[in-house]
Amino acid sequence: MQHSTSSALVVSGWHRMSYSFNDNTLISQHLESLIRKLHAFVGNAVTQDRYIVFGAGSTQVLSAAAYALSLANSSSSHSPTRVVASVPYYSLYKQQVEYFNSEKFKYEGDAHTWRNRSESDASTNVIEFVTSPNNPDGLLNKAVLHGPNVKTIYDRAYYWPHFTPIPAPADEDLMVFTLSKLTGHAGSRF
């Protein structure tokens, strides 16, 4: 502690984070490459032929995903897309849907209560949040709902080998990861 200044490691705030870069992008190509290499090395996610979107925290990325998926569903129905999650779930799922109060999507509760409804009513558009591994129980959850009008967002914040065994690389259409659990970069999601 007497030599804290000389032993400090300082990384500039702009280094490899999401600001404007010379190629007019908002994500460093180097950061994107490192994210892909990290997932390949760890074996927790398929990233080949996938887009990587970088955001400032879970609220931004999860809300953007729900909004985009509700727009994709809106052409087939005029009612808001139902947003559900299996209990226990990350409370932000419900809070952010209610906070943004969008006409495009509406929080509807536990995914299990919608299982029979979504299968019998093919016109209802549903977005299911799946936390895997789940917090707090650590279960590797899978989607409860299926069908042509169901879109799934997999929240994979804890899908790293130091939190849970990785039986296979995650390979869903929309997966959300974070650096905050891995490296301490709070407020990052991709």
Given this model, what pLDDT does residue 15 score?
54
Phi and psi angles of residue 64, each rounded to the nearest 5 degrees, phi first: -65, -40
Residue 4 in any domain: the answer is no
Residue 21 in any domain: the answer is no
Q: How many domains does the chain have?
A: 1
Is pLDDT of 96 > 60? yes
Is pLDDT of 50 > 60? yes
Given this model, what pLDDT does residue 77 score?
57
Q: Which residue reads 């990233």 in tokens? A: 47
Given this model, what pLDDT does residue 11 score?
59
Closest C-alpha to 163, from 125, 185, 133: 133
Residue 19 in any domain: the answer is no
- Residue 161 sits in a domain whose CATH number is 3.40.640.10
Taking the alpha carbons of 10, 44, 49, 64 in that order, is the dihedral positive or negative?
A: negative
Residue 30 in any domain: the answer is no
Given this model, what pLDDT does residue 48 score?
93
Calpha distance 70→65 (Å, rounded): 8
Interval 104-126: pLDDT, tens: 888 998 999 887 765 556 678 89
Q: By residue range, what is the domain housing residue 80?
A: 57-185
- Report the DSSP beta bridge partners of residue 110: 85
- pLDDT (average), residues 136-144: 90
Closest C-alpha to 81, from 92, 71, 70: 70
Calpha distance 85→108 (Å, rounded): 9
Given this model, what pLDDT does residue 100 score?
79
Given this model, what pLDDT does residue 121 score?
66
Tokens of 61: 């990325």
pTM for the whole structure: 0.81
Q: pLDDT band for 16, please (50, 70, 90 cuts).
A: low
Q: Would you list the DSSP string of 158-177?
A: T-STTTS--SS-B--SSEE-
Interval 159-170: pLDDT, tens: 999 889 999 999
